[in-house]
Amino acid sequence: MLIAVQKKYRDWVVIAIGVLELKALLFLWGYSQFDFQKFPDETWYSIWSRWDSLHYQRIAQHFYTRADLSEQDFHFLSHFPPGYSILMSVIHSAGPSLVVAGLIISITAAVVASCVLFELVHQDFNNRPAAFRAVVFMNIFPTAYFTNVPYSDSLYLALALVAFYFMRVSKHFNAAGFMIALAIFTRVVGIMLMPAVALALLEKYRQKELSFKQMGILLFPIAGFVLYLYLNYISYGNPLFFLQDSASQSHTVKLGFMPFREAVTTLLAFCEQPLTLANDSFFRMTTGWNSAFVLLTTFACVCFIRRLPLIYSVYAFSYLFFISSMTWGLSNARYVFAIFPLFVGLGLINNRVISLTVMSAFLPLLFYFSRMLVLGDWAF
């Protein structure tokens, strides 16, 4: 028993060191690519604070108050649940800048997510090598650089994985519900964990093991979502204001009702003009790459259906249906990073040629997109 515990901790240490080394490598890569002579006020860490990072910092500093913001910018804050920003504010109160606080959260969450993914795969599939491979694939995924950025993606992924661990391994349903509530309070797409919750409750019911004491897995997430709606109400006068504002602004994603429509139409358009659109940077970074990530992730998840427990596929496809229903899904390449069953499935492939092929595709894109981000270009 003692030897097993020591081995587990040793595995976690190896994973943590590996993740931190990769983060350091990305920081060095960004530093080497940025022109600090042209922008002397920037630092090695501030160049990773781009785009939505500014909104998280704004909420951390002023919560949902307008102050000096334009009406449009103030309304746009409603799209961001406050979980990540609250944690950023807490760390900021201890001394670090908001950017550094965000980086601490994101990198710590990446380490936690990696260790939990390892344990989830190791325990659920009794396959230690597959668990290590899953962790590697997650950390070198082309948009995994968002775990180096003051964005909420890393924290959401860690919370979703911990929730699955509680559901699948330790069977602490109330703890799983609390983690899902925090995930929703971090990113509203966390509601896509609820179909997996419904399946877990159904399995408990069939096994005649369901009791009212386990209903926290349902009640906590509902409370988390209601709290987010309440914040919209007291800040904007409408509990669904974030949806109303998203529908009214031309530059934001909008929730549609036909999954994969934009991805498929983008693919068809590309097939008609492959050379023209391949050289169109606007097309590539708006619908082009995003549609490719959605379709390839969907294909992979379909291939993994037979190898994964049903609850993994339920989460993966619920999440995919949600994000692929959006029009103007210019961040979908980033969103699919939260579909951790993809990495579980890839980890279970015990074929060196396939693994090396996937890695050789992931790594160049990871550095290519991260370079675009630090240079201030749109990178999902």
Nearest CA among 81, 176, 161, 180 for reference residue 123: 161
How does pLDDT run across 219-270, given as a tens digit for each residue?
999 999 999 999 999 999 999 999 988 887 765 666 666 899 999 999 999 9
For residues 377 and 345, give the distance between their C-alpha atoms in angstroms, rounded to a whole number.
32
* DSSP per-residue string spanning 97-159: -HHHHHHHHHHHHHHHHHHHHHHHHHHHH--HHHHHHHHHHHHHSTTGGGGGSSSSHHHHHHH
Residue whose tokens read 């979502």: 225
- What's the pLDDT at 329? 84
- What percent of the chain has pLDDT above 70? 96
Q: Any idea what DSSP says for residue 11?
A: H
E strand intervals along the chain: 254-255, 326-327
Q: How long, in residues, is the chain?
A: 380
**Mean predicted lDDT score pLDDT of the chain:** 94
- What's the pLDDT at 251? 59
Nearest CA among 233, 258, 259 for reference residue 244: 233
pLDDT exceeds 60 at position 279: yes
* DSSP per-residue string spanning 199-233: HHHHHHHHTT---GGGTHHHHHHHHHHHHHHHHHH
pTM: 0.94
How does pLDDT run across 64-110, given as a tens digit for each residue?
998 889 999 999 999 999 999 999 999 999 999 999 999 999 999 99
What average pLDDT does this structure show over 196-205? 92
How does pLDDT run across 129-184, given as a tens digit for each residue?
999 999 999 999 999 999 999 999 999 999 999 999 999 998 899 999 999 999 99
- What's the pLDDT at 143? 98
- What's the pLDDT at 253? 60
Adjacent-strand bridge partners of 255? 326
How do the domains of the chain map onto residue ranges?
2-374
How does pLDDT run across 111-132, given as a tens digit for each residue?
999 999 999 999 999 999 999 9
Q: Any idea what DSSP says for residue 50?
A: -
